[in-house]
Amino acid sequence: MAHYAFLDENYIVTEVIVGRDESNFDWERHYGDIRGQLCKRTSYNTVGGVHNNGGQPFRKNYAGIGFVYDPVRDAFYPQQPYPSWVLNEQTCLWESRVPYPDDGKQYRWNEDELCWDVVPEVD
């Protein structure tokens, strides 16, 4: 079993399906021809360029609906969440320029102030 992402003309993922996994056949082309869309295989176990089970990472990240496929990097990555965030070239994940605090509290990004705000605890 393998997963395949269908892309629109802007290389945005429109759908992810489960399909066949046979190395002696070009399933990307097969599924793409059926739909008339570009199709790229994606690995459910790959996040940030690391395979969760110690296997070979594949296209940096598992494709999700709305993700971008970059043919130069041969990688999937999410849409940029905030204008100030930069794409990490190694992981193909977006990062703030300010590290997330490591104090056990929950934070949310404040784009206006370019900082992490503490999320108030709910009673």
Segment 89-101, tens digit of pLDDT: 999 999 999 999 9
What would the two tokens of residue 110 be? Answer: 């404040």
As a three-state string, the secondary structure of 37-102 is CEEEEECCCEECCEECCCCCCCCCCCCCCCCEEECCCCEEECCCCCCCCEECCCCCCEECCCCCCC
Tokens of residue 122, six digits: 């709910």
pLDDT at 114 over 90: yes
What pLDDT is attached to residue 76?
A: 98
The pTM is what?
0.87
